[in-house]
Amino acid sequence: MGAYQLQVQIDADSGFCFGVVYAIDMAEEILEQDGYLYCLGDIVHNDEEVERLKAKGLRIIDHSQLAGLHNEKVLIRAHGEAPETYRMALENNIMLIDASCPVVLKLQNRIKTSHDDNEKIVIFGKHGHAEVIGLQGQTNGEALVFQDIAELDNVELPQKFTLYSQTTKSTDKFYGIKSELLNRGYEVKANDTICRQVSNRDKDLPEFAARFDKIVFVSGKKSSNGKVLFEVCRKHNPNTYFVSAVDELSPDMFAPGDKVGISGATSTPMWLMEQVKAELERY
Q: How do strand 240-243 and strand 214-218 relate by DSSP bridges?
A: parallel
First-to-final CA distance of the chain:
7
- 3-class secondary structure, 244: coil
In this structure, what DSSP letter does residue 253 have?
G
The burial class, CB within 10 Å (0-12 / 13-18 / 19+), for 100 is buried
60 beta partners: 39
Burial class from Cβ neighbours inside 10 Å (0-12, 13-18, 19+) for residue 213 reads middle
d(CA 159, CA 148) in angstroms, rounded, equals: 19
CA dihedral 269, 275, 280, 283 (to 10 degrees): -170
Q: Which residue in 29, 72, 81, 131 is the catalytic one?
A: 131
Provide the Cα torsion 132, 137, 143, 145; round to 10°: 20
Q: Is residue 139 within 8 Å of residue 83, measured between CB atoms? A: no
Angle of the 18-34 helix axis to the 102-116 helix axis, nearest 10: 110
For residue 20, the one-letter residue type is V
131 is catalytic: yes
Please state, in angstroms and rounded to a whole number, the distance separating the CA atoms of residues 161 and 61. 36
Report yes or no: 41 and 79 within 8 Å, Cβ to Cβ. Answer: yes
Q: Which residues are catalytic?
A: 131
